[in-house]
Amino acid sequence: MTDILLADDDTVLADLLSDYMVAEGFQVTHAVNGAEAVVQAQRKAFDLIILDVMMPEKNGFDALRDIRTQQQTPVLMLTARGDDIDRIVGLEMGADDYMPKPCNPRELVARVRAILRRTTPQVGERNALRIEGIVLTRADRRVTRDDVPLELTSTEFDILATLMAAAGEVLSKNALCERALGRKLTAYDRSLDMHISNLRKKIGRRDDGTERIKTVRGVGYLYILGAD
């Protein structure tokens, strides 16, 4: 059974979401604040963690920072509707995705399942991708640069895997979002751009100083096909 950690001080909403997820076959542990969420995450290996941003004792950002120092478990942030700053900060700190509150339980479960599907290697996929020192292996969801392991979030891994598998081909933002994130790109959604920005910092530049992931203005992104 899939184990979910839900951290939210709004007990009414948390109970609603928990009941719905349990009915959908998930096992849910509820933490009432960020500090408790960090402790729970240290005690047990969850399949996915849901963090509300605004919580007492330790907010969602601080909890995310503490969790990311120890593990790369997928994290979905719950943010105030229309608060772009919270969303951007969360993604920069390593969140895999976000949803605005109040959220529909059905939509939340759909988003959770999409994230879990992405983090489970599919049978028949090409296992290893190698381009100019970057090696990505799907089986263990591992990425190295010149044999040095890189710490990527699950979403960053999925975006990189999608781009590397299509190296030399321009992918529109819509296509990349659907393939890597399992959802359509909505208007004013900057999450994909933020993930790309974080990825560029982690994978570094090519030997000639150019970016490995090129922005094709007005279209999308292109992973440069090297000479490997």
Reported as a single tens digit per residue, the pLDDT across 4-20 is: 999 999 999 999 999 99
**CATH number for domain 128-223, candidates 3.50.50.60, 2.40.50.140, 1.10.10.10, 1.10.540.10:** 1.10.10.10
Q: How far is CA 4 from the centre of its chain?
A: 15
Q: Which residues 6+ apart lie within 8 Å of 99 measured at CB?
A: 76, 77, 78, 79, 107, 108, 111
Q: Do domains 3-118 and 128-223 have the same CATH topology?
A: no
Measured in Å, how far apart are the chain's first and last C-alpha atoms?
41
User: Which pLDDT belongs to residue 197?
Assistant: 94
Measured CA to CA, the distance from residue 215 to residue 39 in angstroms comes to 40
Could you report the per-residue pLDDT of 20-42, keeping only the tens digit for each? 999 999 999 999 999 999 999 99
- Which regions in the chain score pLDDT beneath 50? 123-124
Instruction: Tell me the CATH architecture of domain 3-118.
Output: 3-Layer(aba) Sandwich (3.40)
Measured CA to CA, the distance from residue 184 to residue 203 in angstroms comes to 26
Measured CA to CA, the distance from residue 129 to residue 161 in angstroms comes to 8
Q: Which residues 6+ apart lie within 8 Å of 180 measured at CB?
A: 118, 155, 158, 159, 161, 162
Q: Where along the chain do its domains lie?
A: 3-118, 128-223
Sign of CA dihedral 187, 191, 192, 196: positive
pTM strictly above 0.85: no
